[in-house]
Amino acid sequence: DTITAVIYAPRQFTPAMNGIIDTITPSEDSIKAANAVLYGETQPESENAVYFWGCYVDKSSWMWTRTMTGQIGNHCFGK
Length of the chain: 79
Mean pLDDT of 53-79: 90
Instruction: Give the integer Cα–Cα distance in Å for 61 and 20.
Output: 22
| pTM check: above 0.85 | no
Q: Are 71 and 77 in contact (CB under 8 A)?
A: yes
Confidence check: pLDDT of 46 > 90: no
pLDDT > 70 in the chain, percent: 100
Mean pLDDT of 43-53: 86
Which of the four pLDDT bands, split at 50, 70 and 90, describes residue 37? Answer: confident
Mean pLDDT of 63-76: 91
